[in-house]
């Protein structure tokens, strides 16, 4: 099995882990990634994506390296060409209750569970495995090394950004549409001035100092 069976020569390196999984006999490889571990507000969102061999997704890369308009276009392309896409989320309440790592893994597991085509192998961005009875491989900076993980990173990021724009309408004044809940200076100043809103993560530094008993 050669790399060109999986992707064009110019992006062959992004198929390396998918090729290795195929050589081990796996036929339904899902890339899994998340968006929103660091923010002070809103959910963490995870996505799982199974891509067909030979699919063309020009420009797919780590979502953080792409502009918002480019992510939006690629999001539509991924949903159009993927064999299956699943999305999971863990809200601020779950994050506060079980911690951000466990909540992230919960969202990832939910994303895998929502795949219309069951996965038989997982490629996961990061260093933590998902508590599922499936073979899986973690990859540091996987969104730069695996096309499937990169696609999942885009789906997760676009989904979460859209949610934060909706929250901006529900909770005006915090600037969620602009900073998406991250702890920038303007956001921290607003929390200090207005206090936390219902979707803030009350266990996070920068928020918990302003939570009233």
Burial of 170 per CB tally in 10 Å (0-12, 13-18, 19+): exposed
In a domain, 196, yes or no: no
In a domain, 204, yes or no: no
| Structural domain count, the chain | 1
- Rg of the chain (C-alpha set): 18
In a domain, 122, yes or no: yes
d(CA 78, CA 103): 25
Domain assignment of residue 94, given as a range: 3-168
In a domain, 62, yes or no: yes
The pTM for the full model equals 0.93
In a domain, 107, yes or no: yes
In a domain, 32, yes or no: yes
Buried b (16+ CB within 10 A) or exposed e, 37-55: eebbbbbbbbbbbbbeeeb
In a domain, 201, yes or no: no
Please list the pLDDT of the chain residue by residue as tens digits (213 residues).
233 344 443 467 899 999 999 999 999 999 999 999 999 999 999 999 999 998 989 888 767 789 999 999 999 999 999 999 999 999 999 999 999 999 999 999 999 999 999 999 999 999 999 999 999 999 999 999 999 999 999 999 999 999 999 999 999 999 999 999 999 999 999 999 999 999 999 999 999 999 988
Q: What is the CATH number of the domain that holds 123?
A: 3.30.420.10
Pair 72, 158: CB distance under 8 Å: yes
Burial of 32 per CB tally in 10 Å (0-12, 13-18, 19+): buried
In a domain, 164, yes or no: yes
């Amino acid at each position: 099995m050669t790399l060109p069976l999986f992707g064009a020569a110019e992006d062959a390196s992004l198929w390396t882990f998918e090729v290795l999984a195929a050589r081990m006999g796996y036929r339904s490889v899902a890339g899994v990634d998340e968006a929103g571990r660091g923010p002070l507000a809103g959910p963490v969102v995870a996505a799982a994506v199974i891509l067909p061999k030979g699919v063309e997704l020009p420009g797919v890369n780590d979502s953080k390296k792409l502009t918002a308009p480019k992510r939006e276009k690629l999001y539509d392309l991924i949903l159009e060409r993927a064999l299956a896409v699943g999305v999971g989320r863990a809200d601020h309440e779950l994050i506060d209750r079980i911690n951000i790592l466990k909540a992230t893994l919960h969202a990832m597991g939910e994303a895998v569970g929502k795949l219309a085509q069951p996965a038989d192998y997982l490629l996961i961005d990061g260093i933590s495995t998902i508590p599922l009875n499936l073979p899986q491989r973690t990859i540091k900076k996987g969104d730069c090394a695996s096309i499937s993980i990169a696609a999942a990173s885009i789906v997760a990021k676009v989904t979460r950004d859209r949610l934060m724009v909706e929250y901006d309408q529900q909770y005006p004044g915090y600037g969620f549409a602009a900073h998406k809940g991250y702890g920038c200076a303007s956001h921290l100043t607003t929390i200090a001035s207005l206090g936390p809103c219902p979707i803030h993560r009350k266990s996070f530094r920068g928020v918990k100092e302003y939570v009233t008993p």
